Amino acid sequence: MSLAQVWFEQLMNGLVLGSFYALIALGYSMVYGIIKLLNFAHGDIYMWGSFVTLFIFGYASVVVGSGWAAVLLGMITAMIFMGLVAFFIQRFAYRPLFDAPRLSLLITAIGVSMILYNLMMVLTNGEYKFFNSDINVAAGIAIGPFTLTYVKLIMLIITAVLMISLSLFINRTIWGKAMRGIAQDKNTCRLMGINVNKIIGLTFFIGSALAAVAGCMACVYYGSLHYFMGYIMGIKAFTAAVIGGIGSIPGAMLGGILLGLLEAVGTQVIGSAWKDVFAFVILIIMLIFKPTGMMGKTEIERM
d(CA 283, CA 235): 11
Q: What pLDDT shows up at residue 6?
A: 84
Question: Does residue 156 fall inside a structural domain?
Answer: yes
Task: Give the integer Cα–Cα distance in Å for 23 and 70.
Answer: 21
pLDDT of residue 300: 53
d(CA 213, CA 201): 19
Under 8 Å CB-to-CB from 237, ≥6 apart: which residues? 20, 21, 24, 25, 27, 28, 42, 43, 46, 256
Residue 206 lies in a domain: yes
pLDDT for position 299: 58
Domain that holds residue 57: 3-289
DSSP string, 237-286: HHHHHHHH-TT-HHHHHHHHHHHHHHHHHHHHHH-GGGHHHHHHHHHHHH
- Alpha carbons 135 and 160: distance in angstroms, whole number: 21
CA–CA separation, 106 vs 102, rounded Å? 6
Do the domain assignments include residue 296?
no
How high is the pLDDT of residue 237?
Answer: 93
- Supply the CATH number for residue 40's domain: 1.10.3470
State the Cα–Cα distance between residues 210 and 112, nearest whole angstrom.
19
Distance of CA 232 to the CA centre of its chain: 12
DSSP 20: H
Distance CA 78, CA 86 (A): 12
Within-domain flag for 301: no
On whether the CB atoms of residues 166 and 249 are closer than 8 A, the answer is: yes
Per-residue pLDDT in tens (0 to 9) along the chain, 303 residues: 677 888 888 899 999 999 999 999 999 999 998 988 989 999 999 999 999 999 999 999 999 999 999 999 999 999 999 999 999 999 999 999 988 888 999 999 999 999 999 999 999 999 999 999 989 888 889 888 888 899 999 999 999 999 999 999 999 999 999 999 999 899 999 999 999 999 999 999 999 999 999 999 999 999 999 999 999 899 999 999 999 998 889 999 999 999 999 888 887 777 777 777 877 888 888 888 888 888 876 655 554
- C-alpha Rg value of the chain to the nearest Å: 19
Render 200-243 in DSSP notation, one character per residue.
HHHHHHHHHHHHHHHHHHHHHHH-EE-TTHHHHHHHHHHHHHHH
In a domain, 294, yes or no: no
- Identify the helix (H) or strand (E) that includes residue 72: helix 68-89
- Residue 13 inside a domain? The answer is yes
- Counting the structural domains of the chain, the total is 1
Helix (H, G, I), strand (E, B) or coil at 129: strand
Q: Is residue 247 part of a domain?
A: yes
* Residue 298 within a domain: no
Give the separation between CA 209 and CA 49, rounded to whole angstroms.
Answer: 8
